[in-house]
């Protein structure tokens, strides 16, 4: 694979916390979890992508607030190398309080509320987000943190 075949993926994610629990999205096939969100489309603001993905996947309307974390990671999946940059926004549910269970609108993912104190026990990816949530940082930081899983990235480097 040449350098031209590689792309950096920009992912908008939302951290929705309610009663000491964070909403996680789980891959039904592979079992790992991640913060809800998805790829930012060309010309789309990352915060808008978070709001769109929440509604498409859960039916919930959220407002993306402050950018609270930026991570980057390299990984392989299905024989392809990925370089992913995650922009994590504080998410606020619009309207009623969040339901105790959230049905997925897509068959390959499921949603679950996980106690922040138990996030470290889950396979949350990327690992930098799991570590950040486990440290309690997901409870609405005023400024964004930068965490890189790529050595020599100039930010806080995390093995993973």
Q: What percent of the chain has pLDDT over 70?
A: 86
Domain residues for 81? Answer: 3-150
pLDDT in tens, 14-45: 999 999 999 999 999 999 999 999 999 999 99
Determine, yes or no, domain membership for 157.
no
Determine, yes or no, domain membership for 160.
no
What gap in Å lies between CA 47 and CA 12, rounded to an integer? 7
| Count: domains in the chain | 1
Determine, yes or no, domain membership for 47.
yes
Phi-psi category of residue 88: left, alpha or beta, with phi > 0 → left and psi -120 to 50 → alpha: beta
Question: Residues 49-66: what's their mean pLDDT?
Answer: 95
- Identify whether the C-beta of residue 119 lies closer than 8 Å to the C-beta of residue 32: no
Query: Domain with 97 in it: what CATH number?
Result: 3.90.79.10
| pTM, to two decimals | 0.84
Characterize the bridge pairing of strands 62-77 and 145-148: parallel
Instruction: Return the percent helix, strand and coil in the chain, to nearest 5.
Output: 20, 40, 40
DSSP-derived secondary structure letter, 135: T
Determine, yes or no, domain membership for 93.
yes
- Identify whether the C-beta of residue 19 lies closer than 8 Å to the C-beta of residue 114: no
DSSP-derived secondary structure letter, 121: G
Determine, yes or no, domain membership for 101.
yes
Determine, yes or no, domain membership for 158.
no
More confident: 154 or 157: 154
User: What is the pLDDT, as a whole number, of residue 76?
Assistant: 85
Determine, yes or no, domain membership for 59.
yes
């Amino acid at each position: 694979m040449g350098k031209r075949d590689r792309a950096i993926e920009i992912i908008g994610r939302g951290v929705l916390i309610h009663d000491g629990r964070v909403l996680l999205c789980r891959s039904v096939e592979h079992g790992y979890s991640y913060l809800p969100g998805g790829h930012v489309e060309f010309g789309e603001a990352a915060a808008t992508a978070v709001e769109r993905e929440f509604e498409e996947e859960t039916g919930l309307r959220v407002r993306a607030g402050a950018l609270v974390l930026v991570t980057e990671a390299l990984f392989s999946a299905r024989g392809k190398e990925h370089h992913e940059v995650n922009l994590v926004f504080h998410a606020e549910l619009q309207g009623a309080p969040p339901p105790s269970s959230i049905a997925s609108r897509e068959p390959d993912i499921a949603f679950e509320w996980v106690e922040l104190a138990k996030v470290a026990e889950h396979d949350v990816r990327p690992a930098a987000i799991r570590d950040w949530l486990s440290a309690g940082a997901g409870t609405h930081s005023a400024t964004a943190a930068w965490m890189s899983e790529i050595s020599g990235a100039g930010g806080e480097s995390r093995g993973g």
